């Protein structure tokens, strides 16, 4: 399951869903990176994808983002297997849900 996590982080970084001009962001922070993606998805904000993408390319990128978020779940039991990841990537985006947002700190 650690390979699935690494794959998910790699997919998210390849898709490039980070605003590169945000100087207040620590570019090495893996905690911030997924948190920013979740906030953008929840608020239907721009994910920093290139504006010249076709509708199909945008859908593929969003699918990869959702699959990547599933892969980086804190609890390894919530991460999909690699065969499930392939099924998710080959399937329709309509069947993909936003995965639960991982909480890194326990409530006090």
pLDDT digits (tens, 9 = 90+) for 32-52: 667 777 777 766 656 667 677
Question: Mind listing the pLDDT tens digit for each residue in 43-88?
Answer: 665 666 767 778 888 888 889 989 999 999 989 999 999 999 999 9
Q: Does residue 12 surpass a pLDDT of 60?
A: yes
Q: Which residue has the higher pLDDT, 41 or 17?
A: 41
pLDDT of residue 67: 95
In DSSP notation, 71-99 reads HT-SSGGGSPPHHHHHHHHHS-GGG--PP
Alpha-carbon dihedral angle through residues 16, 22, 26, 27, given to the nearest 10 degrees: 20
Average pLDDT over residues 23-32: 50
Q: Does residue 22 surpass a pLDDT of 60?
A: no
Q: Which two tokens stand for residue 76?
A: 């390894």
The answer for residues whose C-beta is within 8 angstroms of residue 63's C-beta and 6 or more apart is 88, 89, 93, 96
DSSP code for 76: G
Residue reference for tokens 């993606």 = 37
Q: What is the pTM of this model?
A: 0.74
Let me know: does 88 contact 96? Beta carbons within 8 Å: yes
Domain ranges of the chain: 2-18+30-95
């Amino acid at each position: 399951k650690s390979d699935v996590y690494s794959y998910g982080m790699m997919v998210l970084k390849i898709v490039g869903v980070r605003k590169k001009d945000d100087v207040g962001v620590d570019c090495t922070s893996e905690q911030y990176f997924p948190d920013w993606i979740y906030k953008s998805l929840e608020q239907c904000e721009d994910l920093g994808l290139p504006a010249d993408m076709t509708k199909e390319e945008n859908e593929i990128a969003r699918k990869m983002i959702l699959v990547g978020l599933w892969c980086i779940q804190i609890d390894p039991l919530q991460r999909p297997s690699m065969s499930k990841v392939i099924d998710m990537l080959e399937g329709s985006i309509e069947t993909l849900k936003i995965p639960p947002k991982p909480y890194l700190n326990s409530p006090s």
